[in-house]
Amino acid sequence: SYVLTQPPSVSVAPGQTARITCGGNNIGGKGVHWYQQKPGQAPVVVVYDDTERPSGIPERFSGSNSGNTATLTISWVEAGDEADYYCQVWDIISHHVQFGGGTKLTVL
Amino acid sequence: QVQLVQSGAEMKKPGASVKVSCKASGYTFANYYLHWVRQAPGQGLEWMGIINPNEGTTKYAQKVQGRVTMTRDTSTSTIYMVLSSLRSEDTAMYYCARGAGLPQTNYFDYWGQGTLVTVSS
């Protein structure tokens, strides 16, 4: 099956920029989606189709995808951004979904 | 507004089966695939499978293939997930989620509140 690799943790100071990566073989050829999950809550999509932002998600959240790495960028990080973040792709042929292992974002 | 409302927490013994429901409202049930995703305590998200509410067709993750069955009831806009031969490793929060963007892409735009399934002797 298709493997997505995320760093287990990323730490950043408030006001700085956090970058969370998601590695996969030729992931640039797939649509990548990103979810934020806070403790005790269901995940929420923050970026879909590599770069699109759902309504209600701040512009501080952005995504990119090229080659073997997709990246979720959170600008001007706030304490409220502290959460687990997951990348996800869809295999159009097998109709299977794959999640990355998740990255815990800590705001120092 | 779109809502996915799941059934309540379950406690089961090893070897038993569990049935979790997810009732959809606020949109046309037949127009969106629905998925089941689970999360063991302190672990990441794990996709279990997908159901086409219109035709009832399904696809399952290899890890649970043979133990999971997903069905739907169009009269009540509800999907069901039955997991059999339960093991302690099946202890997890189980979520249903709506798939958006199909068929070219698929992301989860709405999630249920989750159903905690605990497997313990």
B32-72 pLDDT, tens per residue? 999 999 999 999 999 999 999 999 999 999 999 999 999 99
Q: What's the gap in Å between the CA of B87 and the closest CA on chain A?
A: 22
Has residue A26 got a pLDDT over 80? yes
CA dihedral B66→B72→B78→B79, nearest 10 degrees, is: 20
Contact B50 A97 (CB under 8 A): yes
Q: List the single residue in A with minimal CA-CA distance to B45.
A: A99
Asked whether the beta carbons of B111 and B3 are under 8 A apart, the reply is no
In a mutational test of the B interface, the residue from A97, A103, A104 whose CB has the highest number of chain B CBs within 10 Å is: A97
B-chain residues near A42 (CB < 8 A): 95, 111-114
pLDDT computed for residue A72 by the predictor: 98
Question: What b/e string do you get for A48-61 counting C-beta neighbours within 10 Å, with b at 16 or more?
Answer: bbbebbeeebeebb
Closest partner CB to B101 (pick from A1, A49, A100):
A49
Asked whether the beta carbons of A53 and A59 are under 8 A apart, the reply is yes
pLDDT computed for residue B99 by the predictor: 95
Query: Is A73 exposed, middle or buried, given 0-12, 13-18 or 19+ CB atoms closer than 10 A?
Result: middle
B-chain residues near A98 (CB < 8 A): 47
Residue B32 φ then ψ, to 5°: -135, 130
pLDDT computed for residue A91 by the predictor: 85
A-chain residues near B35 (CB < 8 A): 97
B-chain residues near A43 (CB < 8 A): 45, 95, 108, 111
Q: List the single residue in A with minimal CA-CA distance to B52.
A: A95
* Side-chain-facing half-sphere of A84: CA atoms under 13 Å: 18
pLDDT computed for residue B103 by the predictor: 75
What is each CA distance from B102 to A92, B32, B34, B107, in whole angstroms?
9, 8, 11, 8
What is the percent of chain B where pLDDT is above 70? 100
pLDDT digits (tens, 9 = 90+) for A34-80: 999 999 999 999 999 999 999 999 999 999 999 999 999 999 999 99
Asked whether the beta carbons of A104 and A9 are under 8 A apart, the reply is yes
Q: What's the gap in Å between the CA of A21 and the closest CA on chain B?
A: 16
What is the spatial distance between Cα B50 and Cα A11, in angstroms, rounded to a whole number?
A: 34
What is the pLDDT confidence band of residue B102, given thresholds at 50, 70 and 90? confident
pLDDT computed for residue B115 by the predictor: 98
CA-wise closest residue to B96 among B41, B32, B42:
B32
A-chain residues near B45 (CB < 8 A): 35, 37, 43, 86, 88, 99, 102
Has residue A1 got a pLDDT over 90? no
Contact A1 B62 (CB under 8 A): yes
Contact A45 B46 (CB under 8 A): no
Location of structure tokens 């073989």: A25
Mean pLDDT of B75-103: 95
Q: What's the gap in Å between the CA of B81 and the closest CA on chain A?
A: 17
Pairing assessment for the beta strands B115-119 and B10-12 based on DSSP bridges: parallel
Residues 6+ apart with CB under 8 A from B2: B24, B25, B26, B27, B98, B109, B110
Has residue B104 got a pLDDT over 80? no
Question: What b/e string do you get for A20-32 counting C-beta neighbours within 10 Å, with b at 16 or more?
Answer: bbbbbeebeebbb
